Chains A and B, each alone.
Chain A
Amino acid sequence: MSEARVPVLEVSGVTKAYGDRQVLRGIDLAVAEHEAIALIGASGSGKSTLLRCIDLLEEIDDGDVFLDGEVITDPSVSPPGVRKRLGMVFQAFNLFPHMSVLDNVVLAPTRAHGAAKAEAADRARELLARFGLEGREHDYPDRLSGGQQQRVAIVRALATRPRALLLDEITSALDPELVGEVLSLVSDLKDGGMTMLIATHEMGFAREVADEVCFLHAGEIVERGSADKMFGEPEHPETQRFLRRLLDAGRL
């Protein structure tokens, strides 16, 4: 029975090159419902590109991506329809600086999903309050701390009730003391059953949240497994080298 369940996201044999540079070399990956998978690896290993390809912000060269069993990377599929069902959070927040926090959150529900303005605003306020952003609705993003901005970005992605969240190194642009407030929010989402694919440099966080950890090296997943196995007894020499470097840098 559980075998027949279709994963929310499935990536199959995806390749992507920028000119001569091969960024993804045949990625296979499946994220089941309520599951969180962490993508780790050095900068330039292809984590971000993979997430952008899944959200159709980049076009893949070969392979396929499936959302709830439907292929979404076929040229005949309309990208906005797919992106409506996914939520993406970026490293640099990508909030819209000319809109208040509330307008940032309400934009997609009203414009892309056709929700009524009042209804969308109610839900936005409720989400903002749940994530500790009460009273910030009418502020502009540049008046918020980095951690608050990133939480708004997460709320914005959640406002459309996505099937899965794609988190692209969401704490890499934050001051160290602000990382915790964002990561604890993601942990809460995981506890709430959100399906997530998370590119991250925060190994402690990956260990805590991820059901599976995938190590990317030069556009390939060279090793994958449970967090305990990946951080406890990594097998692949590249994984070992990567974790050793983090350990030496005091990041583990």
Chain B
Amino acid sequence: MDGRRRRRSGAVLSATTLTRQEERAAAKRRRARRGALIAAASTIAFFGIVIALVVTAPGWDEVKTTFLDWHDFKKALPDLLKGFWLDIKLFVIVECCVLVLALVLALIRSTRTPALFPLRLVSTVFTDVMRGLPVVLLVYTIGFGVPALSLHGLPTDPLVLGGIALALAYSGYVAEVFRSGISSVHPSQMAGALALGLTRAQAMRHVILPQAIRRVIPPLLNDFIALQKDVALVSFLGPIEAFRVAQIEASSNFIFTPIVGAGLLYLCVTIPMTRWVDHLQNKERRVRGVAEVSA
């Protein structure tokens, strides 16, 4: 105590002497400044080396004209956009089907009712098979196989068939995501709901599912993004979507800029999608915080 008083009076006596607090703050500032400098320097060095390597590569000029030509990009953009619009429509419709089908599969697999055993078996086999097959193989099999049956009433539009193939494949994945969400909700929640006199179905609907779905939003989003990209696979069946547009350009004129353009279009959708879900989750957290303050 004595020492502290002496130091403080010392600071008053001589204006140049810093207090301990000021010393610490200054040291912290120095450390932060040095950290920022190092980060900036290493970033510049890293990207500088990468860019230098690419630009000095023997084939750089050729790459620049085939992959990164502004003129080609502008020329291809209208067709790319038209193709991409098809991608988006297909994605939205398929995604809705996936969510419904996957939830049904997950619910069937989460029940214990003996009467539903056959359904449970079917949905287990279904998810295993759909997750076990390459998506492109499903697109081919359904896209070319179903019309070959020549059965009356079955769709023959390659776009519809491709969509069905994607929906089936992704339902397998998303069903597992839902199921892991459902089983992650603690059994005491089910006990609490049942003890109130709710039926199992009501407990699932009002207590378990809302919590399960909230928990699986991030993994669900991963599957959305993957699906958004895999929509390009229906191009194998003929529909002219964005990737197909770019591919035609590439194979006929040896111009790859449209492929880069298509890639940019995909990023334009997938990145905001990620940010949007982050925002939703933050908002959910904020709403709860506000409830506390207002109380």
A residues neighboring B (CB under 8 Å): 52, 55, 57, 79-81, 83-88, 90, 92, 94-98, 100, 107-108, 111-113, 135-136, 138-140, 142-143, 156-157, 160
Contact = CB atoms under 8 A, between A and B. Distances in A.
Interface of B: 188-189, 191-199, 202, 206-207, 210-211, 214, 288, 291-292, 294-295
B195 A55 contact: yes
A156 B188 contact: no
A143 B295 contact: yes
Given A98-B214, A136-B295, A111 B191 contact: no
Given A107-B206, A112-B197, 19 more contacts: A52-B191, A83-B197, A86-B195, A87-B195, A90-B192, A92-B188, A96-B193, A96-B211, A97-B211, A98-B211, A100-B291, A107-B193, A108-B196, A111-B206, A112-B202, A138-B294, A139-B292, A143-B295, A160-B197
B292 A79 contact: no
A47 to B, nearest CB: 16
A113 B197 contact: yes
B189 A94 contact: yes
A92 B186 CA distance: 11
A111 B291 CA distance: 25
Contacts of A108: 196-198
A156 B291 contact: no
A97 B197 CA distance: 19
B197 A80 contact: yes
B197 A84 contact: yes
Nearest to B209: A98
B202 A94 contact: no
Contacts of A100: 291
Contacts of A113: 197
20 contacts: A52-B191, A57-B191, A80-B194, A80-B198, A83-B195, A83-B196, A84-B196, A87-B195, A90-B192, A94-B192, A94-B195, A96-B189, A96-B192, A100-B291, A107-B198, A112-B196, A112-B199, A135-B295, A139-B295, A143-B291
